[in-house]
Structure 1
Amino acid sequence: MVCKNDFNREWLIKKFEEIRKRILNAISQLDDEQLNWRPHESSHSISTLIRHIEGNIKERISKGILHQEIQRNREEELTHVFVEKSELEKICAERLQFVIDTIRNISDETLEQKQIVRSRERTNLEMLHQCAAYFSKHMGQIFTSQNNV
């Protein structure tokens, strides 16, 4: 049986798999110091960007789509702290796999349900597409940082 959101579901799965693969590849090429390096104090390190992606997954997927009781502290995730390479690899692999598994397993009805984001109502499907675009933007920042370390 073909569901009406099969195309979107497959596109999103492939996109998040690509994001996971490319970020993990970037991480694999750097050491702990490089992953936590910032060109200046007001910049974000790769480790901060990955923690920020994780925060977005908690907020938009766990809380927004799956209605889990999750507390996100955006200010804390954007505060520079040293994170080891192995932890960043784990965060990236596990959290993006969680997104992929969620997309694979939720119903069309859930994809069409709405959540409020920044005072605007969006379907969960729209939110997933927005996350794919947002994470791609951060992936670009990671690649730029990778080339500068």
Structure 2
Amino acid sequence: MEIKQINPEQTLSLRHKQLRSHLTLEECVYNGDYEESTVHLAAIEQEKIIGIASFYEEKCLAMPSKRAYRLRGMAVDSEYQGNSIGSQIIAYAEEKLRRRGVEVVWCNARLKALNFYKRNGFTVSGDKFEIPFIGSHFVMKKELKETAGNHYLTSIEKEFKAIKRKADLAIDQLSIEELYWRPHEHTNSISTIMKHLSGNMHSRWTNFLHSDGEKRDRQRDLEFEEFVMTREEMLDYWEKGWSCLFSTISSLTEHDLLKEVTIRNEPHTVIQALLRQSTHYSSHVGQILSIGKQLKAEGWKNLSIPKGESESFNQKKMGESH
């Protein structure tokens, strides 16, 4: 069984069967189902959806100052109940929501589901109330505590984004001709570095947990061959590589961090693989910045503290007492 994010339409059949059988399928759509911030999760067994839950950005009245998500539509197919599927979906969701900076998850829990939510760390808030045609409910909430594993994943994702941002700000300053410029014949142009990084990302992060990071169909040497692309083609290929990376990182949970993956048959924990690629990408982005500075000279827009301005920068950040 695997748990993964699905689209809103994929929740409707099981939502209707287990929770809203008195309604039509179309009436099982919830407000917020199609909001970009909403997260729909499913437990899938042999391509069949056997459990679902949806999470909506919505304040918890019991804790209004904290960023909160509401859990709705939690359902497990009656044929698969009693196998902790709901608990696994909640645990998976909590990791995803922590990564978004969510502090509280809450729900309107049916009376018969009270013990299920209590087992999963939720507590009752307020008095019992009725929802017409459905029955008695309690508001239940759970604070999401930060964990070391989640903090690591959040931090490494931010680090990769910071690396990419520096490269993007440098690339934006350069013309297509400058992207193809090489200091001399034994060095790479920025376009070649971009091509190499994207090729590496496609190879390393595709099917990351289940296949070697050096894919058999990768043609690494071709990444260093200079051939002409338009700026749009170059940026499209660049973005697709980063998208592959960020999509994979967002799918990881803290339970994956000590799993073993290989790169050219060399074993790494997931932590080690992430650190290895962070070092690799930052070194190449450093090359991009160096070439850009050579090309633009006085016209270069600094991406860090300008030369000779450290003291004034520190005073702005740390005050006159520094």
TM-score, scaled to structure 1: 0.86
- The answer to whether the aligner puts 1:80 opposite 2:226 as a matched pair is yes
Deviations 1:92-122 (A, max 9, x none): 3332233122112123343322223345311
Structure 2: how far apart are the matches of 1:50 and 1:17? 15
Q: Is the 8 A contact 1:23 1:139 kept in 2?
A: yes
The amino acid of 2:242's aligned partner reads L
Residue correspondences, number: 149
User: Which structure 2 residue ranges, 5 or more long, are not aligned?
Assistant: 1-143, 296-322
Task: Tell me the equivalent position of 1:41.
Answer: 185
Task: Tell me the equivalent position of 2:167.
Answer: 23
1:112 alignment partner, SS class:
coil
Match among 244, 257, 275 for residue 129 of structure 1: 275
Structure 2: how far apart are the matches of 1:63 and 1:40? 37
Structure 2: how far apart are the matches of 1:78 and 1:85? 17
1:5 alignment partner, SS class:
helix
Q: Is the 8 A contact 1:51 1:77 kept in 2?
A: yes
Structure 2: how far apart are the matches of 1:18 and 1:92? 15
Q: Given the superposition, is the C-alpha separation of residues 46 and 138 from structure 1 closer, same or farther in structure 2, using an over 3 Å criterion? A: same
2:185 alignment partner, SS class:
coil
Match among 190, 202, 209 for residue 65 of structure 1: 209
Q: How does 1:99-138 map to 2 (within 5 A)?
A: 99-138=245-284
The amino acid of 1:6's aligned partner reads N
Q: Is the 8 A contact 2:150 2:253 kept in 1?
A: no
Greater strand share, structure number: 2
Q: Is the 8 A contact 1:55 1:77 kept in 2?
A: yes
Q: Is the 8 A contact 1:13 1:103 kept in 2?
A: yes
Structure 2: how far apart are the matches of 1:134 and 1:18? 14
Q: Given the superposition, is the C-alpha separation of residues 122 and 85 from structure 1 closer, same or farther in structure 2, using an over 3 Å criterion? A: same
- Give the number of the structure with larger relative contact order, counting CA–CA contacts within 8 Å between residues 6 or more apart: 1
Match among 10, 28, 39 for residue 154 of structure 2: 10
Give the CA RMSD over aligned residues: 2.2
1:122 alignment partner, SS class:
strand
Q: Is the 8 A contact 2:170 2:292 kept in 1?
A: yes
Structure 2: how far apart are the matches of 1:10 and 1:26? 25
Q: Is the 8 A contact 1:24 1:92 kept in 2?
A: no
The amino acid of 1:14's aligned partner reads K
Of 105-114 and 61-70, deviating more is 61-70
Match among 187, 190, 194 for residue 50 of structure 1: 194
User: Which structure 1 residue ranges, 5 or more long, are not aligned?
Assistant: none
TM-score, scaled to structure 2: 0.42
**Structure with greater Cα Rg:** 2
Q: Identity, % of aligned pairs?
A: 25
Structure 2: how far apart are the matches of 1:26 and 1:133? 19
Of 35-44 and 2-11, deviating more is 2-11
The amino acid of 2:275's aligned partner reads H
2:157 alignment partner, SS class:
helix
